[in-house]
Amino acid sequence: MDTDTKMARAKSQLLLNHPFYGVLCLNTPFRQDDSIPTMATNGTSIMYYSDFVDSITDTQVTFVIAHEIGHIMFKHCTPIKEIDGKPVNKKLQNISMDYVINPILIDGGLTDMPEGGLLDPKYSGWSWVKVYRDLLEQGEENWPEPQPWGFDVQTPTDDDGNELSDAEIKQLNADIDTRIMQASEVARSKGKLPKGIADLVTEMRRSKVDWVEVFHRFIGGDQPDDYTWTKPQRNAWFNQGIYMPSVERNGVGDIVVAIDTSGSVSGIELQQFLGELNNITEDYNPKSVTVITCDADIQNVVTYEQGDIIDKVDCKGRGGTRVEPVFKYIRDNNIEPDNFIYLTDMGIWDFPDNKPDYPVLWVSVDTSCKDAPFGETVRIEVA
């Protein structure tokens, strides 16, 4: 059997037996590229080496194709240069991404993984960045060998081989989201949508502004103090050109914000969070905002008075994650917050046994996390 026929058969089997991946295959260009040692993707197409395809079984070809589709659907090709302020280790990046994809494929019924594939139940449901951080803590001497198949993820390029601009990558990722939704509907209609993919789609359907809406409701409550025409609603005016009254509030008391500085929260996520926090201080006029940074121990405490702008947060530490020191600090210093917010990845093992008597909102940068045992949990979509 020639290579093209073998690839066509594998894609047909995906369409029949695993329609989610099959539909995504139909919308993905494939091309033979013997400079690639096995099979790879750059986010726009899948490249394969003919000798590699000929060397494995039909069902293994099907698995590897679905694996490359997995890199596309998780947007693993989107360039990332740094994690936690340090250059990304490309070897560890690819290992981490493979650990994320393979259990989803196997749980979904694609069980013939070629020899050397990376699989650890511990990492099931994790993001690749979370796996990356875990392996980094273990030390390079404990890293597994990279998979002998499935080449390193490539950077997205156009038809002429030029790297895409930021705007083009953003559009590519939006197109991928649309394709995922379409493929999931086809698979669901046939009763063949794997649970792992269904969970992914559920996360995607959470609007990017959901956490912001919860944030504002949590701080400001559901009822405004009054309305004013002297300052229009910013979104209505700038986005729609409609002059609408804004909410006028007299203030919402004292807010305490804790930030996990263990390395779990990236600079982009922190910037997004602080930007919305400043919007809240402008819209709701809190009496004070106390910002506590903590990894395994309290690192810094700064209190901002009414009207102050929170321009930056000193993220010292980058050690392990503990939350009990924050709650203890609040108790020991007789702080009585009207609202308490914790920004973290929810990799927490020391939740307090006694639920605090003030409202608690957990803002997680890990969208796959479980809810906290108390308070309300909301998730920030990873930037």
Q: What's the pLDDT band for 330 if we cut at 50, 70, 90?
A: very high
- Region 332-337: what's the mean pLDDT? 92
The Cα–Cα gap between 383 and 380 comes to: 8
Q: What's the pLDDT band for 364 if we cut at 50, 70, 90?
A: confident
Answer whether residue 94 shows pLDDT above 60.
yes
Over the stretch 231-283, which tens digit does the pLDDT of each residue have?
555 555 445 556 555 555 445 789 999 998 876 676 667 777 787 778 777 77
Between 215 and 100, name the one with better pLDDT: 100
- Region 134-138: what's the mean pLDDT? 91
The Cα–Cα gap between 93 and 70 comes to: 15
Answer whether residue 90 shows pLDDT above 80.
yes
Q: What's the pLDDT band for 365 if we cut at 50, 70, 90?
A: confident
Residue 32: the pLDDT is 93
Q: What's the pLDDT band for 319 if we cut at 50, 70, 90?
A: low
Q: Is the pTM of this model over 0.75?
A: no
Answer whether residue 92 shows pLDDT above 80.
yes
- Region 4-17: what's the mean pLDDT? 93
Residue 103: the pLDDT is 94
- Closest to 317 (Cα-Cα) out of 265, 268, 383: 265
Answer whether residue 221 shows pLDDT above 70.
no
Over the stretch 283-309, which tens digit does the pLDDT of each residue have?
788 889 999 999 888 999 999 988 888
In terms of average pLDDT, the best of 62-71, 343-352, 359-368 is 62-71
Over the stretch 16-70, which tens digit does the pLDDT of each residue have?
999 999 999 988 999 999 899 999 999 989 999 999 999 999 999 999 999 999 9
Between 250 and 344, name the one with better pLDDT: 344
- Closest to 58 (Cα-Cα) out of 14, 99, 107: 14
In terms of average pLDDT, the best of 81-85, 125-129, 340-344 is 340-344
| CB-CB contact of 110 with 18 (8 Å) | yes
Q: What's the pLDDT band for 223 if we cut at 50, 70, 90?
A: very low
Over the stretch 176-198, which tens digit does the pLDDT of each residue have?
888 998 999 999 999 999 888 88
